[in-house]
Amino acid sequence: MIWKPKLTVVALLATCGFSANIALADPAVAPFYQSVMHMKAEGKLGQVIKKEKVATPIPGAQAWRIAYISSDLNGKNTISTGLVVAPTGPAPAGGRPLISWSHGTTGNAQNCGPSQVENPAQSLNQYFLVNGNSWTDYGLPSLEQFIKDGYVVVGTDYQGLGGGGRHQYAVAKTNGRDAINAARAAGSMKETSASKKALMIGWSQGAGSTVGASSQGAYISQKGTAFDDLDIVGFVAMAIPDLAMYKPATLDEAGATKMLTDFANAWSVDSFAFAHMSMNLWGTQAAYPDKLKLNDIFTDEGAKALDEIYLNKCVHVSTDTINFNYGSSYKSLLRPQPMNAKAWAQAIVDGSVDNTAKPIAPVLILYGNKDTTLPPVMGEYYRDKVCALGGNVARVQLPGDQNHFTTPSASVPFYLPWIKDRLSGKPAVDGCAAENVL
């Protein structure tokens, strides 16, 4: 008998040639997510298809991991996972308002969902702060206060971060639908005693999700979901991304090529930025697998390497991997000039926040003056466009020198009273009249 060694995934890639859509083994996840990844995305939007009780240190609270039905920007059903935390005890007449949280970047692999950490039902933990206690961001913002105020809080992981399928990272319309359906899921659970009144809040990628949801009135109002008639009264976006600002005046092949080149250059100043840019393009390709290929933008080597990295690793480890293997030569993974540029540019615009539609409720944008990750000009561009449509968008610069990563904690004193006012029915002031007005 002749022993024949088994080919590894990498060897198979080298032997068979690269395909941008090749299926690599998913990283290990806990049993809850293992079983969810084998389930079919069938049911009503927001329908909870699996849940398990989890512990929470928040006084007067109870919590669950959930998996629920969502859909992407193309209308394809997906499964998303997430976390629900609700007050204990009897609910007031009319039920408890809902807060739907959209988290910032954690990665593209199946094991990157924040609900997967060992004790997820806590206040927002940011790994990079001195008091951070994990390798990733997890938890829910101002959770203890929200529970004291009698709110039900739900945080989506987004599709592809524990529920199977490829994560459509930074595709704001898809991420927004995940947040909308998370609110439907939490509302449908009898244990939460939730009302129809809801508010959405997000940071970074999650700010895109939140604002991405704000323009989807028809999606929010459709019937036949697990929890119809959501009344979303406001949207809080901390450090908003608006990639549509890169759109050229004429979206022909030449204009699209310039757009993609400008986008890649602007987001390749270091390997951290390059990782986020390439993750974004990876997520866009996941949203349009029949139209786009990773090796339209990246070299064959780059596409193969990035595909394997993002299918198996979360964001910080992905950046470390790019650093270790490519050092200062990471830009060599890009083609000198993109191919299929018009389709790519259109896909980026179509998946971004929609600054051509009036939001269904007031929007509050909070930003730091030293944010170089998502420069404040993005929020300014979005506000100018949407205010011209008759929207109500308040934009407030946080006091002091705040960067991208200090924005969530610095924002708390501003969003807590704004949220309370919206949920109590108090009209919002005209945010388009002047900057820094609440």
The pTM of this model reads 0.93
**CB-based contacts of 251: which residues, under 8 Å, 6+ apart?**
259, 342, 345, 346, 349
Please tell me what DSSP assigns to residue 243: G
pLDDT at 126 over 60: yes
Q: DSSP state, 395?
A: E
- What is the model's pLDDT at position 14? 35
Confidence of residue 210 (pLDDT cuts 50, 70, 90): very high
What sign does the CA torsion over 116, 122, 126, 131 have?
negative
Q: What is the arithmetic mean of pLDDT over 210-239?
A: 98
CA–CA gap between residue 138 and residue 117 (Å, rounded): 8
Which tokens belong to 252? 């022909």
Q: How far apart are CA 222 and CA 45, in angstroms?
A: 10
Separation between Cα atoms, residue 366 and residue 396, nearest integer Å: 5
pLDDT at site 144: 98
Over residues 25-41, the mean pLDDT reads 93
Average pLDDT, the chain: 93
CATH architecture for segment(s) 31-242+357-423: 3-Layer(aba) Sandwich (3.40)
pLDDT above 70: residue 9: no
Instruction: State residue 245's pLDDT score.
Output: 85
For residues 430 and 143, give the distance between their C-alpha atoms in angstroms, rounded to a whole number: 28
Between the alpha carbon of residue 199 and those of residues 151, 153, 421, the distances in Å are 10, 10, 11
Predicted confidence (pLDDT) per residue in 303-362, tens digit:
999 999 999 999 999 999 999 999 999 999 999 999 999 999 999 999 999 999 999 999
Mean pLDDT of 157-163: 98
* Average pLDDT rounded to a whole number, residues 106-132: 95
pLDDT of residue 233: 98
- pLDDT tens per residue, range 165-199: 999 999 999 999 999 999 999 999 999 999 999 99
Average pLDDT over residues 158-163: 98
Give the model's pLDDT for residue 46: 98
pLDDT at 434: 87
Q: Is the pLDDT of residue 3 over 60?
A: no
**Share of residues in the chain with pLDDT > 90 (%):** 87
Q: What is the pLDDT of residue 390?
A: 97
* Mean pLDDT, rounded, for 58-62: 98
Query: Cβ distance 212 to 173 under 8 Å?
Result: yes
Upper half-sphere CA count for residue 135 (Cβ side, 13 Å): 14
Distance of alpha carbon 170 from alpha carbon 209, whole angstroms: 8
Residue 25: predicted pLDDT: 61
Which band of pLDDT confidence, cut at 50, 70 and 90, is reported for residue 120? very high
* Range 387-414 average pLDDT: 97
**For the chain, which residues make up each domain, given as ranges?**
31-242+357-423, 246-350
Least confident range of 40-54, 124-138, 292-306: 124-138
Q: How far apart are CA 295 and CA 269, in angstroms?
A: 21
What percent of the chain is modeled with pLDDT above 70? 94
pLDDT at 263 over 70: yes
The reported pLDDT for the residue numbered 128 is 87
